[in-house]
Amino acid sequence: MTEALPAGNRPASRASSWLAAALGIGLAAAFNALVPAVASVTPYMAFHLVLPVVAWFSRSLTVAWVAVLVAALTGNLISISPSGRLTLTSGAVGAGLAFMLIQGAFTLSLVLLRRRIKDRDLLLNQLQTERDRLLSLFAHAPIAVVTQRGPDLVYDFVSPGAQRLAQRPMLGRPMREVFVDLEGQGLHDRVERVYRTGEPLVVTEQRLRYRREGAREEESYVDATYSPLRDERGRVEGVLSCAVDVTARVQARRQLERTEQQLRRLSDAGLLGIAEWRGDRIVGGNPRLLEMLGLPPDAGVPEGGLDWKAMTPPEFAEADARRIAELEATERTSPFEKQLIRADGRRIWILGGSALVDRETFSGVSFVLDISAQKDAERALQEAHQFEQRLLGIVSHDLRNPLASIRLGVDLLARSMLSEQQLRTVTRMARSADRMHQLVAGLLDLTRLRAGQQLPITWEPSNMHLLVEGAVEEVSAADPGRFTVSGHGDGTGEWDTVRVGQALGNLLGNALQHSPPGSPVRVEVEGGTEQVRVSINNGGEPIPPEQQDGLFEPFRRGVRHGALDGSVGLGLYIAWHVARAHGGTIEVRSSAQAGTTFRLILPKRASSRPSSGLRGVG
């Protein structure tokens, strides 16, 4: 920084200085014209006061000397008599010269003092500007800067970066008092050694463990320089410390080292193929890569490399072009799947990723994993799923018409004149036809749900108490006397009565099937303001916790004790989807003491008049 004053901060111009002098003399003359007659004792006092002020503000030596000369001449020759007449007097030349010298010296000192004060103000302004600029640099730079003074190393300057790093009050406090938790970590000893010896110190990746305000203990790493601060005699009076937080860099390097170790282990284990490439040629690879490509693992990559484009089936060429563009733009690719043609002509599926290492030669590295077995399993699963869907569709649709005919024939027989034994036989036939109809309906619903469709819902006003009563009566016909039903609260709302009846029938049938023969099944309906809950509790062996998550999956069947059988394990699956289609859910709790409880929870769509509850059934 230069010590010269900027051109714009020089003293006032010569014209403005003369103008200031003229105004000063005019003011002095006007003042003396108004002075009373007794003023003649001290002629033209105003010049002695005004002219130094003119010199102070003009800061011009030339103007100051002219002002002194005018004051001397006029003050010695002109006076005002008590009568107001102008009288010329003659004074001693020595007295005039003495006055001029005294007045000139006084005025000159004022001019010089004014200049020094102005220069000092300009220097202070420059220093303040540079200080503000330095503080602004510290505030925005990712660096921590502190200065410490005295044997106790008291912080007398703390940059914003240092305050952000420390997260605790520092200014005006000794180092060991501020960082008590850094005792024994080397920081205090290093700073004190620099203060004691006067020798600077540089430390890289200094490890610090400390607790920030209101936070847990953290581990940080800093690159730091410690320099001595000296006074005008060269004695050390403090330490200047500059530090940069490199925690992210250290953590990234360690993560990279861990990743390299993992990749090395994968490579050594023969799981991951690693290919080094340049342009469209593979110029290096580990044994696992060569084994994937159908080449001898120990022979290495042939001289001249391998053409990876020639090993790529034509249908993957467009995808490879997109990955090359991605490499050029981001220097890496997203994980991708493709096929490669082995040396024996067989195709394999790989999962891969690539990274560009050198743009000039367009070379890099790729990591590939053979996923042919997974692809084969996916294809087999997809084929099995497609077969399952076709089979379900054939079974469900082709059985509906014969079942309808059987049910119609059973109904006609039931109206005929039959003996008691014949009537029981017809009744069993009707129940069997109904179960087959429910099975077909469940298969149709399964087909629809597997295809990603929702169950169709027809909303209509209903009463949950009545729906439960009807479902219990229907299910208890096959195993009468086992249900105990209770209910309270408002059970009205809007639901699909057919679907809700289907879900209730499945839950009630499930309770009979999985409870000991003859044991009671308790049903409770709770009507609330926003939803209704139907709880179905049965005894028997509890459901293990590890099996409860899979209860609502299709084709799940547990150990059955009841009279109802013939299910394929779709009842709970369909019931759960019915609840979901209504915006509700099904909860399950099971223990040896309380038994197993399924709770159907459905929100209300609308309200009508309250119901008084249910009567016992069965």
pLDDT tops 90 at residue 553: no
pLDDT bucket at 6, cuts 50 / 70 / 90? very low
pLDDT tops 60 at residue 81: no
Into which CATH architecture does domain 270-370 fall? 2-Layer Sandwich (3.30)
- What the block records as the tokens of 531 is 């939803």
Q: What is the identity of the amino acid at 611?
A: S
pLDDT of res. 397: 62
- What the block records as the tokens of 562 is 């009841």
276 vs 25, higher pLDDT: 276
For the ranges 29-43, 285-299, 593-607, the lowest mean pLDDT is seen at: 29-43
CA angle 7, 11, 17 (to 5 degrees): 135
CA 6 – CA 9 distance, rounded (Å) = 6
pLDDT tops 60 at residue 567: no
135 vs 201, higher pLDDT: 201
Tens of pLDDT along 390-404?
766 666 666 666 777
DSSP 3-state of 354: strand
452 vs 460, higher pLDDT: 460
pLDDT tops 80 at residue 101: no
Question: Across residues 292-304, what is the average pLDDT?
Answer: 88
Highest mean pLDDT among 18-22, 23-27, 121-125: 121-125
CA 87 – CA 139 distance, rounded (Å) = 73
CA 526 – CA 464 distance, rounded (Å) = 9
- Class of residue 586 by CB neighbours under 10 A (exposed 0-12, middle 13-18, buried 19+): buried
- What the block records as the tokens of 91 is 């004074």
What pTM value is reported for the model? 0.39
- Class of residue 72 by CB neighbours under 10 A (exposed 0-12, middle 13-18, buried 19+): buried
Highest mean pLDDT among 136-150, 178-192, 574-588: 574-588
Domain ranges of the chain: 7-122, 141-245, 270-370, 376-449, 457-603
Query: What are the φ/ψ torsions at residue 263 (nearest 5 degrees)?
Result: -65, -35
Nearest to 471 by CA among 520, 431, 504, 434: 504
Q: Please enumerate in sequence order all residues whose Cβ is within 8 A of that of 376, keeping only pairs 6 or more positions apart, or say none.
A: none
Q: Are residues 503 and 599 in contact, defined by beta-carbon separation less than 8 angstroms?
A: no
Q: What is the identity of the amino acid at 212?
A: R
E strands present in 246-362: 273-278, 281-285, 306-307, 336-341, 347-358
Class assignment of domain 457-603?
A: alpha beta
**Exposure of 546 in the CB half-sphere (CA atoms within 13 A):** 0
DSSP 3-state of 474: helix
Question: Across residues 214-224, what is the average pLDDT?
Answer: 78
State the DSSP code for 5. Answer: P
207 vs 115, higher pLDDT: 207
Distances (CA, A) of 8 to 61, 124, 125, 131: 20, 16, 13, 21
Query: What are the φ/ψ torsions at residue 328 (nearest 5 degrees)?
Result: -65, -30
Q: Are residues 155 and 145 in contact, defined by beta-carbon separation less than 8 angstroms?
A: no
Q: Are residues 555 and 443 in contact, defined by beta-carbon separation less than 8 angstroms?
A: no
pLDDT tops 50 at residue 36: no
Distances (CA, A) of 413 to 78, 262, 405, 425, 433: 155, 76, 12, 10, 14
pLDDT of res. 329: 92
- What the block records as the tokens of 111 is 């001019």
CA 540 – CA 513 distance, rounded (Å) = 10
Q: Please enumerate in sequence order all residues whose Cβ is within 8 A of that of 413, keeping only pairs 6 or more positions apart, or say none.
A: 426, 429
pLDDT of res. 50: 54
pLDDT of res. 181: 79
Percent of all residues in the chain with a pLDDT value above 90, rounded to a whole number:
28
pLDDT tops 90 at residue 523: yes
Tell me the H-state helices in 337-419: 372-414
pLDDT of res. 556: 66
Distances (CA, A) of 132 to 108, 127, 129, 135, 259: 36, 9, 5, 5, 46
Dihedral angle of Cα 196, 200, 206, 211, to the nearest 10 degrees:
50
CA 610 – CA 616 distance, rounded (Å) = 19
Burial track 121-153 (b if 16+ CB lie within 10 A, e otherwise): eeeeebeeeeeeeeeeebeeeebbbbbbeeeeb
Tens of pLDDT along 44-77?
444 555 556 655 565 565 666 666 566 555 544 4
pLDDT tops 80 at residue 135: no
Tens of pLDDT along 234-289?
899 999 988 888 888 888 888 878 877 776 776 666 678 889 999 999 998 888 88
Nearest to 181 by CA among 146, 203, 161, 208: 208
- Three state DSSP letters for 76-132: HHEEECCCCCEEECCCCHHHHHHHHHHHHHHHHHHHHHHHHHHHHHHHHHHHHHHHH
Task: Compute CA 280 distance to the chain's CA centroid, rounded to the nearest angstrom.
Answer: 39
For the ranges 140-149, 475-484, 489-498, 607-616, the lowest mean pLDDT is seen at: 607-616
pLDDT tops 80 at residue 439: no
pLDDT bucket at 165, cuts 50 / 70 / 90? confident
CATH number attached to the domain at 376-449:
1.10.287.130
CATH number attached to the domain at 141-245:
3.30.450.20
124 vs 36, higher pLDDT: 124
**What is the Cα Rg of the chain in Å?**
51
Q: What is the average pLDDT value for the chain, to the nearest integer?
A: 77
DSSP string, 518-568: T--EEEEEEE-SSEEEEEEEE-SSPPPHHHHTTTTSTT------SS-----
Same fold? 141-245, 270-370 = yes
Rounded to 5, what percent of the chain is helix, strand, coil?
Answer: 50, 20, 30
pLDDT of res. 395: 65
pLDDT of res. 430: 77
pLDDT bucket at 85, cuts 50 / 70 / 90? very low
DSSP string, 190-240: HHHHHHHH---EEEEEEEEEEE-TTS-EEEEEEEEEEEEEE-TTS-EEEEE
Q: Are residues 581 and 499 in contact, defined by beta-carbon separation less than 8 angstroms?
A: yes
pLDDT of res. 457: 86
Q: Please enumerate in sequence order all residues whose Cβ is within 8 A of that of 132, keeping only pairs 6 or more positions apart, or say none.
A: none
Q: Which helix (H) or strand (E) holds 461?
A: strand 460-463
Highest mean pLDDT among 99-103, 137-141, 195-199: 195-199
Nearest to 480 by CA among 542, 420, 431, 429: 431
